[in-house]
Amino acid sequence: MRYYKETELDIEKAAEFLELPPSRLSEIIEKGNLRQNWDEYSNIYRFEGHAPQIENGTALIDHYGSFELVRGFPKIKRAMLLDPALKGNFSQIKSVVVEEKMNGYNVRVVDYRGKLIAFTRSGHVCPYSTERVQNFLKRDFFQDHPDIIVYGEMAGPDNPYVQKNIYDIDSLDFFVFDMRYKDTGEPLEVCQRRELGEEYGFNQVRLFGEFSINEASAKITGIIRELGEKGHEGVVIKDPKMVLQPIKYTCSQSNCSDLEQAFRFYNEAGRDYLFSRVVREGFQSYEWSEDEEEFQKRCKRLGESILLPMKGTIAQVATGERLSDDFCIRVRDENVIHKFKAYMERFGLYVVLGTPERIGEDYVVEVRKINKSTTDKTMAMLEGQLWS
Amino acid sequence: MRYYKETELDIEKAAEFLELPPSRLSEIIEKGNLRQNWDEYSNIYRFEGHAPQIENGTALIDHYGSFELVRGFPKIKRAMLLDPALKGNFSQIKSVVVEEKMNGYNVRVVDYRGKLIAFTRSGHVCPYSTERVQNFLKRDFFQDHPDIIVYGEMAGPDNPYVQKNIYDIDSLDFFVFDMRYKDTGEPLEVCQRRELGEEYGFNQVRLFGEFSINEASAKITGIIRELGEKGHEGVVIKDPKMVLQPIKYTCSQSNCSDLEQAFRFYNEAGRDYLFSRVVREGFQSYEWSEDEEEFQKRCKRLGESILLPMKGTIAQVATGERLSDDFCIRVRDENVIHKFKAYMERFGLYVVLGTPERIGEDYVVEVRKINKSTTDKTMAMLEGQLWS
């Protein structure tokens, strides 16, 4: 039981709960694919990387020998060409439900020892999201339905992870888009989930309607064009019964706005992040049979979304300024500000806090996430170093 | 001497020649970092990946126990911001020489057992380049200067590796840009190299002139703008004495034209290839302090260079056609056609030949390099599969 002491996890019992041989679980731990969270959450473990049959980011809660699993949200695959994707994936059903895919960050909420906690996609418990969620969701749902995990998007201003002011809301809010049973991971049907959400007064992602497979492609294209103009992200297309896997489809404008955010810090911009967004543009442009004018607009939008933020960054560093990602957080409990800072620092981020300001019941504080990599690289280029 | 038999290389002697401990050389071979070429070149070995002090692509020729080294061409670093790069890298000298960087492929030529052979960057002996080089370069240079390796760019039409018809020439040709001593790897001074080239009637890359460090940035910017308009690639900036390392700087149009070629086969387009080209655009646009109109042109050019070829590819596959990279090769010796096909197949490429046509002294044959990866991926999208 070499790992018992290290992780304080009872390997035998945990393995039994996970239906894995104990030797397999030991191996998973040894490889670093099951990691312990810290402080008040040190009896919560998260799956990172590959473990068989277990979604990445799944959290294992150790209730002193009995266990609970909070499954990671399954990755939703993407349609590149909408029409064939709809026909290929939903040929067995008559109609699909279309809901908005919001541009924020994905959290899972469960009741944990009498309070709600919010897991990020990776299975960490984010102290800021956790504090926020207390104010957004009533606990009675979780008392009435302890077997259900609520999945939602944290979107809006005062967002530490995705800064987009594209929704007409004052501050960060939580929009439910899925509910699943803890033990099986099975999702609730769309209708049932929306009714339940309504009953408990949850915000939910926008429902565009249910469309027959034949009309869906035209309807969704229309929706995407409208959402694009508003700067919204896109849609998720679902089997009403949630038996077939949902698929996502997004707007060009949102794609480009992602690139615009990423290329302010060009030196950290993921190569795959860039590539995948660029490829989406090519497929959409083809499927929409764009005329020369529309196509030129798309080309310009794409080019500009990369070059404009880069130029801004170089100009900023040239004046001697350091780059930072600046945002506000809004909390009710002032202690959460420092907890959140410590949480960011755990991930190796360097964060500078402003002075908290009282607004109504809340404290609002400016956070500057200092960016070293792109600042240093840009400075090096300005000083005459060569690229490589 | 486990590797003696396998590689037929006398480890002891080769190690002595390379000034490495024999155990170190054995290790390099074991790791696959020194590999044997084949057929008539099976006594030539090439360095792949990391070997200490040895350029990637360096060839080791085994003359039955005595050895010869044909060093790989050292990677030339790139200026992102021209002016600071010039000042940072050439502060110790008064002036720099500027030569054209042509857009073709880099080969090294040496005399090998009475004929000239052409190494590609990786240290393979390309049968096509080897045949061509016989006709471009007279052997007398190599007899008079057996201690010198000639480095040049193979550019122009009938090019199997880089298809760009941007030079005013009828067929593939060889343009010398460097000469180095075999034993030390030391380069000849620019002047001396150009004189020697002229003396033996070699084609050489264009010389733009020698500029003082202070005026160089403005002059080179002017040259780059002109070259860009013609679709040429860029320049290499050199210490006339070739003591300091040269640096390269390229045109936006050439960058974009690289992307245009790459994105016809978008599924194989390297993530790093895309990223590095995009970043160059950002730096150049900043350094040139472009006005809105110029900047918009650059954005459009960048976006179009990615999306236009992708759309073409999807449309082509939608008609049921398979994608291929089509080019001609032109040879004097008809046997080289099949040798070249076999050579391509060694690299896992599937190649279809047309019927050779006699043109003057030469045979010209169309080659189709069939592209499977992007064809298959595009077909899958058209059939409704999801991206991932």
B291 touches chain A (CB under 8 A): no
Find all residues with CB under 8 Å of B195, minimum gap 6, and list them. Answer: none
User: What pLDDT was estimated at residue A3?
Assistant: 42
Spatial distance between the Cα atoms of B388 and B384, rounded to a whole number of angstroms: 12
Q: How far apart, in whole angstroms, are the C-alpha atoms of residue B233 and residue B206? A: 12
Q: Which of A21, A65, A70 is nearest to A45 (CA)?
A: A70
Within a domain: residue A228? no
A303/B307 CB distance under 8 A: no
Q: What is the pLDDT of residue A135?
A: 86
User: Cβ of A269 under 8 Å from any chain B Cβ?
Assistant: yes
* Strands ordered across the beta sheet of A105-112: A115-120, A105-112, A148-155, A173-181
- Could you list the pLDDT tens digit for every one of the 388 residues in chain A? 334 344 579 999 999 999 999 999 999 999 999 999 999 999 999 999 877 788 899 999 999 889 999 999 999 999 999 999 999 999 999 999 999 999 999 999 999 999 999 999 999 999 999 999 998 898 899 999 999 999 999 999 999 999 888 999 999 999 999 999 998 899 999 999 999 999 999 999 999 999 999 999 999 999 999 999 999 999 999 999 999 999 999 999 999 999 999 999 999 999 999 999 999 999 999 999 999 999 999 999 999 999 999 999 999 999 999 999 999 999 999 999 999 999 999 999 999 999 999 999 999 999 999 999 999 999 999 999 999 8
A87 touches chain B (CB under 8 A): yes
CATH number of the domain residue B205 falls in: 3.30.470.30
Q: Output DSSP code: residue A321.
A: P
On whether both A112 and A189 belong to a single domain, the answer is yes
Report the distance separating Cα B275 and Cα B270, nearest Å: 9
Is residue A103 within 8 A of residue A164, CB to CB? The reply is: yes
Has residue B65 been placed in a domain?
yes
**A340 contact partners, CB below 8 Å, separation of at least 6:** A126, A127, A128, A160, A329, A331, A367
State how many domains chain A has: 4
Last residue of a domain, one of B70, B89, B116: B70
Q: Which domain holds residue A287?
A: 252-318
Question: A276: part of which helix (H) or strand (E)?
Answer: helix A271-287
Residue in the block written with tokens 């992007």? B374
Interface contact B303-A307, CB threshold 8 A: no
User: Which residues in chain B touch residue A252, judged by CB atoms under 8 angstroms apart?
Assistant: none
Give the pLDDT band of residue B235 (cuts 50, 70, 90). Answer: very high
Q: Do residues A339 and A282 share a domain? A: no
Question: Between chains, do B314 and A283 touch, taking CB under 8 Å as contact?
Answer: yes
Residues B97 and B33 in one domain: no
pLDDT of B320 reads 96
Q: Is A260 on the interface with B (CB under 8 A)?
A: no
The pLDDT of residue B202 is 96
Least confident piece of the model among A5-19, A244-258, B26-40, B52-66: A5-19
* Residue B195 domain-assigned (yes or no): yes
Identify the H or E element spanning A193: helix A190-199
Q: Who's near A124: CB < 8 A, 6+ residues apart? A: A37, A46, A343
Instruction: Give the C-alpha separation, A283 to A298, whole Å.
Output: 12
Q: What's A212-256 look like in SS3?
A: EHHHHHHHHHHHHHHHHHHCCCEEEEECCCCCCCCEEEECHHHHH
CATH code of the domain covering residue A278: 1.20.58.2250
CA dihedral for A6, A11, A15, A17, sign (positive or negative): negative
Q: A195 Cβ partners below 8 Å, 6+ apart? A: none
Q: Mark whether A91 and A205 lie in a shared domain.
A: yes
Residue A154 inside a domain? The answer is: yes
A76 touches chain B (CB under 8 A): no
Q: How close does chain A come to B117, measured CA to CA in Å? A: 30
- Output the pLDDT for position A299: 98
The answer to whether ipTM exceeds 0.90 is: yes
Mean pLDDT within B76-82: 98
CA nearest to B195, candidates B207, B182, B211: B207
pLDDT digits (tens, 9 = 90+) for B316-346: 999 999 999 999 999 999 999 999 999 999 9
A186: helix, strand or coil: coil
Write the DSSP string, B303-327: HHHHHHHHHHHHHHHHTTPPPEEEE
Tokens standing for B92? Answer: 């110790």
Q: Do A302 and B302 touch (CB under 8 A)?
A: yes
Q: How far apart are CA B213 and CA B322, in angstroms?
A: 51
- Residue A372 tokens read as 């070293």
Interface check B295 vs A, CB under 8 A: yes
- CB-based contact B84 A383, cutoff 8 Å: yes
Quick check: is B218 in a domain?
Answer: no
Dihedral of alpha carbons A24, A26, A123, A194, sign: positive
Hey, what amino acid is at B138? K
B226 in a structural domain: no
CB contact under 8 A, B275 and A276: no
Say whether both B63 and B155 belong to one domain: no
Is residue B86 domain-shared with residue B173, that is, in the same domain?
yes
- Domain membership flag for residue B388: no
- Please give the structure tokens belonging to residue B271: 């993530």
At B4-14, the pLDDT tens digits run 344 579 999 99
Q: Å from A286 to nearest chain B CA?
A: 5
pLDDT at residue number A51: 78
Q: d(Cα A384, Cα B77) in Å, to the nearest integer?
A: 12
Give residue-wise pLDDT tens across range A350-370.
Answer: 999 999 999 999 999 999 999
Mutate one of B381, B383, B388 to test the A interface: name it (highest A CB count within 10 A). Answer: B381
Print burial letters for B163-189: b (CB count within 10 Å at least 16), e (below 16): ebebbeeeebbbbbbbbbebeebebbb
Smallest CA–CA distance, residue A326 to chain B, in Å, is: 23
- Across the interface, of B269, B281, B304, the residue whose CB is closest to A307 is B281
Domain boundary, last residue among A299, A318, A337: A318
Q: Is residue A133 located within the same domain as residue A187?
A: yes
Please check whether residue B322 is in contact with residue B375, taking contact to mean a CB–CB distance below 8 angstroms. yes
pLDDT, position B138? 86
Helix (H, G, I), strand (E, B) or coil at B353: strand
B38 touches chain A (CB under 8 A): no
For residue range B173-207, list pLDDT tens digits in order. Answer: 999 999 999 988 999 999 999 999 999 999 999 99
Q: A54 or B252, which is more confident?
A: B252
Burial class of residue A182, CB neighbours in 10 A (0-12, 13-18, 19+): middle
Flag whether pLDDT at B220 surpasses 80. yes
Residue A206 and residue A256 in one domain: no
Residues of B in contact with A276 (CB under 8 A): 387
Alpha-carbon distance of B345 to B364, in angstroms, equals 20
* Cα–Cα dist B146/A110, whole Å: 77
Q: Which of B302, B308, B315 sits opposite A307 (nearest CB)?
A: B302
Residue whose C-alpha is closest to residue A213's, from A88, A101, A76: A88
B 210-229 residues inside an 8 A Cβ radius of A: none
Q: What is the DSSP string of B101-138?
A: E-SSEEEEEEEETTEEEEEETTS-B-HHHHHHHHHHS-
Q: Is B86 on the interface with A (CB under 8 A)?
A: yes
Report the alpha-carbon distance of residue A289 to residue B84 in Å, rounded: 45
Distance CA B201, CA B188 (A): 17
Statement to judge: residues B86 and B155 lie in one domain? yes
Are residue A261 and residue A349 in the same domain, yes or no? no
- Whether the full predicted model's pTM is greater than 0.90, yes or no, is yes
Domain boundary among A318, A335, A369: A318
- Tokens of residue B131, six digits: 């045949």
Q: What is the pLDDT of residue B50?
A: 76
Residue A142: which of A175, A106, A116, A120 has the closest Cα? A116
Give the torsion sign (CA, B8, B12, B16, B21): positive
Average pLDDT over residues B282-300: 97
Nearest Cα to B176, choosing from B187, B184, B168? B187
User: Chain A within 8 Å of B206 (Cβ-Cβ)?
Assistant: no
Which of A41, A171, A193, A196 lies closest to A115 in space, CA to CA? Answer: A41
**Statement to judge: residues B84 and B24 lie in one domain:** no
Tell me the CATH number at B376.
Answer: 3.30.70.2160
Whether residue A217 lies inside any domain: the answer is no
Answer whether B300 sits within 8 Å of A298, measured CB to CB: no
Cβ B211 vs Cβ B83: under 8 Å: no
Other beta carbons less than 10 A from residue A200's beta carbon: 17
- List own/partner pairs for B224-230 with CB under 8 A and 24 or more apart: B224/B82, B224/B249, B224/B250, B224/B251, B225/B251, B227/B100, B227/B251, B227/B254, B228/B252, B228/B253, B228/B254, B229/B253, B230/B166
The CA dihedral of B255, B256, B261, B265, to the nearest 10 degrees, is 110
Regarding whether B205 and B85 lie in a shared domain, the answer is yes
- Report which secondary-structure segment, H or E, holds B202: none
CB atoms within 10 A of CB B82: 23
Cross-chain Cβ contact B266/A274 below 8 Å: no
- Helices (H), ranges, chain B: 2-7, 11-18, 22-30, 82-89, 127-136, 140-144, 190-199, 213-230, 252-262, 271-287, 292-318, 335-346, 373-382
Q: A247 vs B386: CB contact, 8 Å cut-off?
A: yes
